[in-house]
Amino acid sequence: MADNLEVYLADFIREREIIEELRVRVFVREQGVPEDLEMDERDMYCQHFLARCDGIAIGTVRLDLELEGKMGRLAVIQPYRRRGAGRQLVERLHQSARDAGLSEIWCHAQLSAQNFYSVLGYKAEGSIFEEAGIDHVTMRYSMVK
């Protein structure tokens, strides 16, 4: 998939419907997150990234610079998981965070995705907590190596 995968900083106003559809498909339909919790007021303030394979939108993630580098809403649709799209979305987000001068990124990772983030260099901290009915843990990534 790597040859035909494009990951880029999206224009949220122009590509909002695409981003929303990806997130609704993954979080609302697959995981049962209430739709009113999925799209929130932070979206307008975040950088959004899209992954496209052969021109088809397959994944998204957002970076909230105002919340000290909070990464969130990483979603890749089912047929494209475990093929590198999530990793490339996170790497592109890291580059944008570096460009913005951030020293770290943090996220509320679903427990089922904790290993994915660990492999990318994230470290878990604190206790497990529930968010939208799903167990999460806070994870941090240091940009300073």
Q: Any idea what the CATH number is for the domain that residue 134 is in?
A: 3.40.630.30
Query: pLDDT at position 101, please?
Result: 94
pLDDT > 90? residue 76: yes
pLDDT > 70? residue 1: no
Q: Is 0.85 surpassed by the pTM of this model?
A: yes
Domain that holds residue 27: 2-142
pLDDT > 60? residue 106: yes
pLDDT > 80? residue 20: yes
Give the integer Cα–Cα distance in Å for 5 and 84: 9
- Residue 47, Cα to own-chain centre: how many angstroms? 11
Q: What is the amino acid identity at position 32?
A: G
Q: Count up the domains in the chain and report the number.
A: 1
Query: pLDDT at position 38, please?
Result: 86
pLDDT > 90? residue 145: no
Query: pLDDT at position 3, please?
Result: 62
